[in-house]
Structure 1
């Protein structure tokens, strides 16, 4: 069984004058959310044997803050294809994951991550986690999907969404319109 954990980068700042979207850092709320999510992942006993991430500044900042909460550093494979990737591109990345990696953490951006969840998980009206992901995939949110086959076999409607964790689920102060 393979487990893919998708993490959308934490909330970024629009206040810092940067030339490119790629260079936007996290804001204070994003830093708090990433640390909290890291603590929560640790409390669940989740571990990852492979990490792949977009090289955008806000993703790097998310990883740094996640590591503070988690209590250990992450050494991601930086993959430029993940920057604002479509679900098709994300699927290409997944197909190329190391065969010996059973628990992968992929850190990137929306709308690609949300669309990927909706592609990989069958549309079942009874699946409340999928319905939550379809409604909104906020920043610093984690979606965990399990697959029976190997990475190259991952395709539409082959996964099971086992977790969907938003920062506001862990601390309501990190919900919408909160400082």
Structure 2
């Protein structure tokens, strides 16, 4: 995030003290002066599944949560999106000695491509169907990610949409 200085980046990456979403939301408000957004989408009530989408300027990160209740699924989704944003990723926060922020790690291209397919599925009204392919994440290998991407593309084609 090129718009953060080194001190702000350090504050973003600092370990989270709890898994409570209130800490995450407070940190976002502090760092970005309330200039960010959070969208929640419930994919399933029967098997509580929620997607949280955090938007800060041009940065968008999605997190999924699945739990026994909607509230827990929402908390999990927000936590996952915040982690993908880089929040709480430092376990031992070093002292900042430069004004040059180090960039957040970019989301792998395979994950970006899956996100693009998920967005197309959402636009086509196929969010629920697409969820079954990504319920366990993006895959742990490039091959698993590739298979998820192909499955999402086939889902779109099957329902008459351009992938």
TM-score tier after normalising by the smaller chain length: under 0.3
What TM-score, normalized by structure 2, do the two folds share?
Answer: 0.26
Which structure would you say has the larger RCO, counting Cα contacts within 8 Å and 6 or more residues apart?
Answer: 1
Which structure has more helix as a fraction of its residues? 2
The structure number with the bigger radius of gyration is 2
